[in-house]
Amino acid sequence: MTVLVAPERTLGMVQVAVAQFAPTDDKAGNLAVLTRLAGEAAERGAEVVVLPEYSMFTVPAMDERFVASAESLDGAFVTGLREVAARRGITVVAGMNEALPEGGRIFNTLVVAGPDGELAAVYRKLHLYDAFGFRESDFVRAGEITEPATFKAAGLTFGLQTCYDLRFPEVTRRLADAGAQVVALPAEWVPGPLKEYHWTTLVKARAIENTVYVAAAGQIAPMGSGSSLVVDPMGVVAASLGEAPGVAVAEISADRVEQVRTTNPALALRRFTVAPRDSAS
Protein backbone atom coordinates (compact mmCIF):
# COMPACT_ATOMS: atom_id res chain seq x y z
CA MET A 1 0.00 0.00 0.00
CA THR A 2 1.34 3.41 -0.97
CA VAL A 3 1.14 5.91 1.89
CA LEU A 4 1.03 9.59 1.05
CA VAL A 5 2.89 12.00 3.30
CA ALA A 6 0.38 14.34 4.91
CA PRO A 7 1.02 18.06 4.39
CA GLU A 8 2.48 19.99 7.31
CA ARG A 9 -0.41 21.09 9.48
CA THR A 10 -0.88 24.43 11.20
CA LEU A 11 -2.15 23.86 14.73
CA GLY A 12 -5.51 25.46 15.32
CA MET A 13 -6.44 25.50 11.64
CA VAL A 14 -7.75 22.63 9.55
CA GLN A 15 -9.45 22.04 6.22
CA VAL A 16 -12.64 20.02 6.72
CA ALA A 17 -14.69 18.42 3.97
CA VAL A 18 -18.28 17.19 3.94
CA ALA A 19 -18.93 14.54 1.29
CA GLN A 20 -22.32 13.20 0.24
CA PHE A 21 -23.54 10.27 -1.83
CA ALA A 22 -26.33 7.67 -1.90
CA PRO A 23 -25.19 4.44 -0.24
CA THR A 24 -26.85 1.22 -1.45
CA ASP A 25 -26.89 -2.44 -0.41
CA ASP A 26 -23.54 -2.95 -2.20
CA LYS A 27 -21.02 -2.60 0.62
CA ALA A 28 -17.97 -2.93 -1.62
CA GLY A 29 -19.46 -0.39 -4.02
CA ASN A 30 -20.16 2.03 -1.17
CA LEU A 31 -16.58 1.73 0.05
CA ALA A 32 -15.34 2.42 -3.47
CA VAL A 33 -17.46 5.59 -3.75
CA LEU A 34 -16.37 6.69 -0.29
CA THR A 35 -12.73 6.11 -1.23
CA ARG A 36 -13.11 8.24 -4.35
CA LEU A 37 -14.82 11.08 -2.48
CA ALA A 38 -12.24 11.02 0.32
CA GLY A 39 -9.49 11.11 -2.30
CA GLU A 40 -11.08 14.10 -4.03
CA ALA A 41 -11.38 15.87 -0.67
CA ALA A 42 -7.73 15.18 0.15
CA GLU A 43 -6.61 16.47 -3.25
CA ARG A 44 -8.48 19.69 -2.48
CA GLY A 45 -6.58 20.06 0.80
CA ALA A 46 -9.00 18.47 3.27
CA GLU A 47 -7.45 16.95 6.38
CA VAL A 48 -10.74 15.75 7.89
CA VAL A 49 -13.49 14.22 5.73
CA VAL A 50 -17.01 13.70 7.11
CA LEU A 51 -19.25 11.24 5.26
CA PRO A 52 -22.89 10.22 5.82
CA GLU A 53 -24.59 8.03 8.38
CA TYR A 54 -25.02 4.40 7.21
CA SER A 55 -22.30 4.92 4.58
CA MET A 56 -21.58 1.19 4.74
CA PHE A 57 -25.06 -0.05 3.78
CA THR A 58 -28.48 1.48 3.16
CA VAL A 59 -31.76 0.19 1.75
CA PRO A 60 -35.10 2.03 1.53
CA ALA A 61 -36.76 0.23 4.47
CA MET A 62 -35.34 -0.25 7.95
CA ASP A 63 -35.59 -4.03 8.17
CA GLU A 64 -33.65 -7.25 8.75
CA ARG A 65 -31.27 -6.43 5.90
CA PHE A 66 -29.57 -3.85 8.13
CA VAL A 67 -28.89 -6.57 10.69
CA ALA A 68 -27.69 -9.05 8.06
CA SER A 69 -25.29 -6.44 6.66
CA ALA A 70 -23.67 -5.62 9.99
CA GLU A 71 -19.93 -5.95 10.61
CA SER A 72 -17.61 -5.68 13.58
CA LEU A 73 -15.14 -2.86 14.06
CA ASP A 74 -12.43 -5.08 12.62
CA GLY A 75 -14.49 -6.02 9.56
CA ALA A 76 -13.97 -5.18 5.91
CA PHE A 77 -15.62 -1.76 5.96
CA VAL A 78 -13.68 -0.29 8.88
CA THR A 79 -10.48 -1.88 7.58
CA GLY A 80 -11.12 -0.14 4.26
CA LEU A 81 -11.72 3.20 6.00
CA ARG A 82 -8.47 2.85 7.91
CA GLU A 83 -6.59 2.09 4.70
CA VAL A 84 -8.07 5.14 2.95
CA ALA A 85 -7.18 7.39 5.89
CA ALA A 86 -3.60 6.08 6.08
CA ARG A 87 -3.04 6.19 2.33
CA ARG A 88 -4.21 9.81 2.12
CA GLY A 89 -2.85 10.97 5.47
CA ILE A 90 -6.29 12.25 6.53
CA THR A 91 -8.97 11.63 9.15
CA VAL A 92 -12.15 9.98 7.84
CA VAL A 93 -15.50 9.96 9.70
CA ALA A 94 -18.27 7.65 8.42
CA GLY A 95 -21.31 5.71 9.59
CA MET A 96 -21.60 1.92 9.68
CA ASN A 97 -23.94 -0.87 10.79
CA GLU A 98 -22.09 -2.42 13.73
CA ALA A 99 -22.86 -6.03 14.62
CA LEU A 100 -23.97 -6.96 18.13
CA PRO A 101 -22.68 -10.24 19.58
CA GLU A 102 -26.20 -11.55 20.21
CA GLY A 103 -27.55 -10.49 16.81
CA GLY A 104 -31.14 -9.32 16.26
CA ARG A 105 -30.22 -5.64 16.23
CA ILE A 106 -27.23 -3.45 15.43
CA PHE A 107 -25.54 -0.30 16.66
CA ASN A 108 -25.74 2.74 14.37
CA THR A 109 -22.07 3.60 14.74
CA LEU A 110 -19.72 6.36 13.64
CA VAL A 111 -16.08 5.43 13.26
CA VAL A 112 -13.15 7.83 12.95
CA ALA A 113 -10.11 6.53 11.10
CA GLY A 114 -7.01 8.64 11.75
CA PRO A 115 -4.10 9.43 9.40
CA ASP A 116 -2.07 6.75 11.17
CA GLY A 117 -4.61 4.13 10.06
CA GLU A 118 -5.89 3.55 13.59
CA LEU A 119 -9.35 4.16 15.02
CA ALA A 120 -9.37 7.57 16.70
CA ALA A 121 -12.94 7.45 18.05
CA VAL A 122 -16.17 5.44 17.97
CA TYR A 123 -19.66 6.81 18.64
CA ARG A 124 -22.92 4.85 18.84
CA LYS A 125 -26.02 6.89 18.09
CA LEU A 126 -27.92 7.89 21.25
CA HIS A 127 -31.26 9.07 19.83
CA LEU A 128 -32.91 6.61 17.46
CA TYR A 129 -35.20 7.79 14.67
CA ASP A 130 -38.60 6.70 15.98
CA ALA A 131 -40.39 9.64 14.34
CA PHE A 132 -42.05 10.73 11.11
CA GLY A 133 -43.39 7.19 10.62
CA PHE A 134 -40.03 5.42 11.10
CA ARG A 135 -38.98 2.93 13.80
CA GLU A 136 -35.20 2.73 13.87
CA SER A 137 -35.30 1.13 17.32
CA ASP A 138 -36.91 -2.03 15.91
CA PHE A 139 -33.52 -2.96 14.47
CA VAL A 140 -31.03 -0.66 16.23
CA ARG A 141 -29.95 -0.47 19.86
CA ALA A 142 -29.24 2.99 21.23
CA GLY A 143 -25.71 3.62 22.41
CA GLU A 144 -24.93 3.84 26.10
CA ILE A 145 -24.60 7.30 27.62
CA THR A 146 -20.87 7.64 28.16
CA GLU A 147 -18.38 10.48 28.07
CA PRO A 148 -18.79 12.39 24.78
CA ALA A 149 -16.87 10.91 21.86
CA THR A 150 -14.16 13.30 20.64
CA PHE A 151 -10.97 13.24 18.60
CA LYS A 152 -8.19 15.70 17.72
CA ALA A 153 -7.05 17.05 14.36
CA ALA A 154 -4.50 19.84 13.94
CA GLY A 155 -4.92 20.74 17.61
CA LEU A 156 -8.69 21.20 17.31
CA THR A 157 -11.16 19.05 19.25
CA PHE A 158 -13.96 17.41 17.24
CA GLY A 159 -17.11 15.91 18.75
CA LEU A 160 -19.40 13.29 17.21
CA GLN A 161 -23.16 13.00 16.87
CA THR A 162 -25.51 11.37 14.37
CA CYS A 163 -28.55 12.56 12.39
CA TYR A 164 -31.60 12.53 14.73
CA ASP A 165 -29.32 13.57 17.62
CA LEU A 166 -29.43 17.01 15.97
CA ARG A 167 -32.99 17.53 17.26
CA PHE A 168 -31.75 17.20 20.86
CA PRO A 169 -29.71 20.33 21.69
CA GLU A 170 -28.27 18.81 24.85
CA VAL A 171 -26.22 16.37 22.74
CA THR A 172 -24.25 19.18 21.13
CA ARG A 173 -24.06 21.06 24.44
CA ARG A 174 -22.38 18.05 26.07
CA LEU A 175 -19.85 18.01 23.23
CA ALA A 176 -19.14 21.72 23.76
CA ASP A 177 -18.73 21.07 27.49
CA ALA A 178 -16.23 18.33 26.61
CA GLY A 179 -14.13 20.87 24.73
CA ALA A 180 -15.40 20.38 21.18
CA GLN A 181 -14.71 23.28 18.82
CA VAL A 182 -16.09 21.36 15.84
CA VAL A 183 -18.97 18.87 15.62
CA ALA A 184 -18.86 16.18 12.93
CA LEU A 185 -22.43 15.19 12.08
CA PRO A 186 -23.03 12.32 9.63
CA ALA A 187 -26.70 11.90 8.71
CA GLU A 188 -29.31 10.19 6.61
CA TRP A 189 -31.82 13.05 6.89
CA VAL A 190 -34.89 11.39 5.40
CA PRO A 191 -36.71 13.64 2.89
CA GLY A 192 -40.19 14.95 3.60
CA PRO A 193 -42.25 18.13 3.97
CA LEU A 194 -40.07 20.87 5.50
CA LYS A 195 -37.33 18.35 6.37
CA GLU A 196 -34.58 20.14 4.45
CA TYR A 197 -35.61 23.38 6.19
CA HIS A 198 -35.39 21.63 9.57
CA TRP A 199 -31.94 20.28 8.65
CA THR A 200 -30.32 23.58 7.74
CA THR A 201 -32.07 25.47 10.56
CA LEU A 202 -31.02 23.01 13.24
CA VAL A 203 -27.42 22.73 12.02
CA LYS A 204 -27.09 26.51 12.20
CA ALA A 205 -28.81 26.64 15.60
CA ARG A 206 -26.47 24.04 17.13
CA ALA A 207 -23.49 26.01 15.81
CA ILE A 208 -24.73 29.36 17.09
CA GLU A 209 -25.92 28.31 20.54
CA ASN A 210 -22.73 26.34 21.28
CA THR A 211 -20.31 28.65 19.41
CA VAL A 212 -18.84 25.71 17.50
CA TYR A 213 -18.36 24.75 13.88
CA VAL A 214 -20.70 22.01 12.60
CA ALA A 215 -19.65 19.85 9.65
CA ALA A 216 -22.85 18.03 8.62
CA ALA A 217 -22.72 15.39 5.88
CA GLY A 218 -25.94 13.78 4.69
CA GLN A 219 -26.97 11.09 2.26
CA ILE A 220 -28.55 12.25 -0.99
CA ALA A 221 -31.78 10.95 -2.58
CA PRO A 222 -33.49 8.59 -2.46
CA MET A 223 -32.91 8.12 1.27
CA GLY A 224 -31.44 11.49 2.24
CA SER A 225 -31.99 15.19 1.66
CA GLY A 226 -28.42 16.08 0.70
CA SER A 227 -27.63 19.72 1.47
CA SER A 228 -24.45 18.89 3.38
CA LEU A 229 -22.82 21.96 4.87
CA VAL A 230 -20.16 23.40 7.15
CA VAL A 231 -21.38 26.19 9.46
CA ASP A 232 -19.16 28.46 11.55
CA PRO A 233 -19.78 29.47 15.21
CA MET A 234 -21.82 32.50 14.14
CA GLY A 235 -24.07 30.42 11.90
CA VAL A 236 -22.38 31.48 8.66
CA VAL A 237 -22.32 28.76 5.98
CA ALA A 238 -18.66 28.25 5.07
CA ALA A 239 -19.26 25.54 2.45
CA SER A 240 -22.29 23.64 1.18
CA LEU A 241 -23.66 21.19 -1.36
CA GLY A 242 -27.01 20.75 -3.06
CA GLU A 243 -28.70 17.52 -4.10
CA ALA A 244 -25.90 15.88 -6.12
CA PRO A 245 -23.03 13.70 -4.92
CA GLY A 246 -19.90 15.66 -4.20
CA VAL A 247 -17.47 17.27 -1.78
CA ALA A 248 -17.36 20.72 -0.15
CA VAL A 249 -14.31 21.97 1.76
CA ALA A 250 -14.06 24.74 4.37
CA GLU A 251 -11.26 26.12 6.54
CA ILE A 252 -11.89 25.80 10.27
CA SER A 253 -9.98 27.95 12.74
CA ALA A 254 -9.59 27.84 16.52
CA ASP A 255 -9.07 31.61 16.40
CA ARG A 256 -12.55 32.03 14.91
CA VAL A 257 -14.05 29.97 17.75
CA GLU A 258 -12.27 32.07 20.36
CA GLN A 259 -13.22 35.32 18.66
CA VAL A 260 -16.90 34.34 18.64
CA ARG A 261 -16.80 33.12 22.23
CA THR A 262 -15.28 36.41 23.33
CA THR A 263 -18.01 38.36 21.57
CA ASN A 264 -20.77 36.00 22.67
CA PRO A 265 -19.72 34.20 25.89
CA ALA A 266 -23.00 32.26 26.07
CA LEU A 267 -21.36 29.04 27.27
CA ALA A 268 -19.75 30.85 30.20
CA LEU A 269 -22.89 32.84 31.07
CA ARG A 270 -25.42 29.99 31.11
CA ARG A 271 -26.94 28.90 34.42
CA PHE A 272 -27.94 25.32 33.61
CA THR A 273 -26.06 22.10 32.97
CA VAL A 274 -27.08 18.96 31.08
CA ALA A 275 -27.91 15.82 33.06
CA PRO A 276 -28.62 12.41 31.47
CA ARG A 277 -32.03 10.81 31.62
CA ASP A 278 -32.45 7.03 31.99
CA SER A 279 -30.84 5.02 29.19
CA ALA A 280 -32.82 3.84 26.18
CA SER A 281 -32.76 0.16 25.25
SS (H, E, C) the chain: CCCCCCCCCCCCEEEEEEEECCCCCCHHHHHHHHHHHHHHHHHCCCCEEECCCCCCCCCCCCCHHHHHHCECCCCHHHHHHHHHHHHHCCEEEEEEEEECCCCCCEEEEEEEECCCCCEEEEEECCCCCCCCCCCHHHCECCCCCCCCCEEEECCEEEEECCHHHHHCHHHHHHHHHCCCCEEEEEECCCCCCCHHHHHHHHHHHHHHHHCCEEEEEECCCCCCCCCCEEECCCCCEEEECCCCCEEEEEEEEHHHHHHHHHHCCHHHHCCCCCCCCCCCC
Of these residues, 27, 71, 98, 163, which one is catalytic?
163
Q: Is the peptide bond before 233 cis (omega within 30 degrees of 0)?
A: no
* Nearest by Cα to 90 from 33, 44, 159, 122: 44
Of these residues, 27, 47, 125, 204, which one is catalytic?
125
Of these residues, 53, 98, 188, 209, which one is catalytic?
53
Would residue 152 show up in a list of annotated catalytic residues for this protein? no
Would residue 53 show up in a list of annotated catalytic residues for this protein? yes
Would residue 163 show up in a list of annotated catalytic residues for this protein? yes
Catalytic sites, residue numbers: 53, 125, 163
